[in-house]
Chains A and B, each alone.
Chain A
Amino acid sequence: MAYLRETATVVAVEPQGEACLLRLASPALAAAVRPFQFLLVRVPGGGFALRRPFSVFDARGEEVEVLIRPVGEGTARLGAVAVGEKLDLLGPLGQTFSPPAEALYVAGGVGVAGLFFAVAEEVRAGRQPELLFGAATEAALYGRGRLETLGVEATYVTEDGSCGERGLATEHLPGAATGQEKLMSAAMAETLPPYARAVVACGPRPMYQALFRSLGEEARLYVVMEERMACGVGACRGCAVPAREPEGGYLAVCQEGPVIEASRLDWLRLAEEV
């Protein structure tokens, strides 16, 4: 548990639709953080009891990046910081994770922030990761320019068809059974084989539910979980998500996640929450 607290300087603020990508000079954290780990960021100006958790979008050299989409007062204030301002960071928090070979990455909207670092590390290691990236509109395909610069093989899906395929990312899984095939198998009382590739997903809960349903219970699905959080270090048990084992029990996202294998989660109770 080598946690660090570092005062970072905002080096650049890059607008990304409604969101923005903050580049932060934070040498100790940049050297320590691994893909899928996250930071707790103190909201500048005071008046907030809790820090805000953010995935590390990317980390290179002496810099870390976080993608901030304003959803409340705290994130709005963080999204409005200027170059030269200081931010108080805690990290690296949570476990890193090594996706199985040739895993498919599936991002939903701002969820790309939870996957970009892992995808980028694969590219830097000479591999060609495949990313399926869905969002409501083209403007919500945050970080698309960065993905293109990196040369990532990405399929874009937008609900309004403004970029790439039209629909939801979960309707465009490469090699997954189509609706027609599912109907056929159901008519013939057959179970379709589970999706062959491992899937690592980061996005909204309904996206996870759709993936879990369409890939089959036996598929290797890994989801990056998000929950309201206080300590980030496993002390308070605030960021609980329903677990399959023990029955009726919970996993702490900050301690056992943020990447959690779908088979460890209680999907019925997760569905009740939404």
Chain B
Amino acid sequence: MNSAVAIRAGGVDLRTPVILASGCAGYGPEWGELVDFAAVGAVVLKGVAREPWLGNPPPRLMETPCGVLNAIGLENVGLDVFLTEKLPAAADLPCAVVANVVGREPEEYREVCAALDGEGRLAALELNVSCPNVRAGGMAFCADADGLREFVARCREVTTKPLWVKLAPMLTDIVPAAKAALAGGAEALTVANTLPAMAVDVRARRPVLGNVYGGLSGPAIRPVTLRLVHRVYDETGAEVIASGGVDGWEAAAAYVLAGARAVQVGTALFDNPALPAEIVAGLEEYIRREMFDDVAALVGKLRSGQV
């Protein structure tokens, strides 16, 4: 890999540091030619649970200032259909493919990880321990550092694939959770997920979302997530994959400077499916202008102190 934007992150060789975030790219082929996969380093497929999940009642979406609230509820086809239909359909994608694993209890994650271990097309497994839209399974794992370390270690036992642990943003301090996931055997940390949030329809005097609460994504959460990425990188030196409100190359560059080796894009794809290509072009130009060799050389290169 001699391209300036190629980078190795979380045990995966990425042609570019732009990753399609889980939940926004379906099981891979949905976007068709609207997304230029030549600019995509990896796609994280929609979360997969042991059994199919039906998801939350509608409305599941609400646009908010500079963001989107969603409460999809991890609707997914379940492991069997994932293995027989979805994964084969994603095989032709010209980028790395990562599975996102969800569950209601630790044992369920472990079983899914074990079942995916033999799938040659999967470059890594991302453990979603931070969905705000499911009662069990979701964020609860991140709050208890010992429990999280044990949980990641149990998944580590059943697979040789790199593990990315997708952490929750709403913790008193994200650093203990980050350290716990690393101690459990994670190759990388995805920082972070949507922020728990809600919206109210004042005319109807009802919550807008069928699930009452949802997760906030988009540029609205970027400053919050940027700080979390910086905290985790600063305190642990871990390989961080940033996820939160990336809507252009400058946001991507900010995350890389704060310590991320790659960035996930999600919400902004809905407005602009050409975003991955635009980010890559912008980063290449930036790297050239700032006279760095490549994107890897930019990671964590924030200047300190005052100008």
Task: Across the interface, name the chain A residue whose C-beta is closest to B220.
Answer: A49
Which residues in B have their C-beta under 8 angstroms from that of A221? none
A127 within 8 A of B: no
Contact with B along A214-244 (1 / 0, CB 8 A): 0000000000000111111111111111100
Number of A-B contacts (CB under 8 A): 114
Q: Using a CB–CB distance below 8 Å, which chain B residues touch chain A?
A: 23-26, 29-34, 46, 52, 54-55, 57-64, 66-68, 70, 72, 75, 210, 218-219, 267-274
Contact yes or no, A231 B30, CB < 8 A: yes
Q: Which of A232, A234, A240, A249 contacts B60 (CB 8 A)?
A: A240
Q: How close is B132's CB to chain A, nearest CB, in angstroms?
A: 15
Q: Which of A3, A5, A235 contacts B26 (CB 8 A)?
A: A235
Expressed in whole angstroms, the Cα–Cα distance for A50 and B61 within the complex equals 10
**Top 6 closest A-B pairs, CB basis?**
A235-B26, A1-B32, A235-B30, A228-B61, A238-B61, A249-B54
Contact yes or no, B274 A242, CB < 8 A: no
Task: Across the interface, name the chain B residue whose C-beta is closest to A231.
Answer: B270
Expressed in whole angstroms, the Cα–Cα distance for A242 and B55 within the complex equals 10
Contact yes or no, A234 B26, CB < 8 A: yes
Main secondary structure of the interface of B (DSSP, over half): loop
Q: Using a CB–CB distance below 8 Å, which chain A residues touch chain B?
A: 1-3, 5, 42, 47-51, 74, 90, 227-242, 246, 248-250, 269, 273
Which residues in B have their C-beta under 8 angstroms from that of A248? 54
Contact yes or no, A49 B269, CB < 8 A: no
Q: How close is B106's CB to chain A, nearest CB, in angstroms?
A: 25
Known: A49-B66, A50-B63. A236 touches B270 (CB 8 A): yes
Give 29 A-B contacts (CB < 8 Å), ordered by A residue.
Answer: A1-B30, A3-B32, A3-B33, A47-B66, A49-B64, A50-B270, A51-B271, A90-B34, A227-B58, A230-B70, A231-B24, A231-B26, A232-B270, A235-B25, A235-B30, A235-B46, A236-B24, A237-B55, A237-B60, A237-B75, A238-B72, A239-B58, A240-B55, A240-B57, A240-B72, A248-B54, A250-B54, A250-B75, A273-B57
Q: How close is A83's CB to chain B, nearest CB, in angstroms?
A: 24
